[in-house]
Amino acid sequence: MSLTLHYHPLSSFCWKALVALYENGTPFTPNLVDLGDPNQRAALVKLWPIGRFPVLGDDARGETVPESSIIIEYLDRHYPGATRLIPEDPGLALETRLRDRVLDLYVHLPMQRIVFDRLRPADRKDPHGVAEARARLRTSYAMIEQQLAHGGWMMGERFTLADCAAAPALFYGNINEPFGDGHPHLAAYLERLKARPSFARVLKEAEPYFGMLPRG
């Protein structure tokens, strides 16, 4: 197989790339990376010096592609399937990328800040930072709630890059800072995402590892 995805089954940003791959049935070889193993970590750093996953390797094109949004754009350009994840219309494409960025920066990253704080020693906790992250999530939830009043997917009828970003961000976000009763459109959207075969497969494959998640 030409494509190899270096990933971890609990990584939210890896989920984002996996949704895109599964959405179009794109053939690839999964390479589960254990960052606790020095050799595996060194191999990942050799591919991408930042040492973060996911990283996509493409032997056929001689390319190494890091970062989930760029991986999805790369797949859409070089390995397109029935679901085009970036709209062809320039205006819709720009709006799709904007929503992807909003989800990553203002849902995904604050959610991770809460989770990573649980992994800190007791004397290194950051309650102020966690409170800021929770406030950022609530602000983002309110904004996305309004955007989803139409039902359907993030961009309307079409499943796109923005939905690939939303699936892991909102799934983990709702666990760590629950939506609450004031966000019915957001809650219904998450249920639609969980029922989407591509994301349902990601969740099923991750389920055996859920016991490793840090709990509050």
Contacts of residue 127, Cβ cutoff 8 Å, sequence gap at least 6: none
Q: pLDDT 10s per residue in the chain (216 long)? A: 699 999 999 999 999 999 999 999 999 999 999 999 999 999 999 999 999 999 999 999 999 999 999 999 999 999 999 999 999 999 999 999 999 999 999 999 999 999 999 888 888 999 999 999 999 999 999 999 999 998 899 999 999 999 999 999 999 999 999 999 999 999 999 999 999 999 999 999 999 988 888 766
pLDDT of residue 154: 96
Q: Where are the domains of the chain?
A: 3-78, 90-196
Chain centroid offset of residue 186 CA: 16
CATH topology (fold) of 3-78: Glutaredoxin (3.40.30)
User: Are the CB atoms for 162 and 99 separated by under 8 Å?
Assistant: yes
1.25.40.340, 3.40.630.10, 1.20.1050.10, 1.10.730.10: CATH of 90-196? 1.20.1050.10
Q: pTM for this one?
A: 0.95
DSSP 141: H
Q: Alpha helix (H) ranges present in the chain?
A: 12-23, 38-47, 68-78, 90-103, 109-118, 127-147, 161-176, 184-195, 197-206
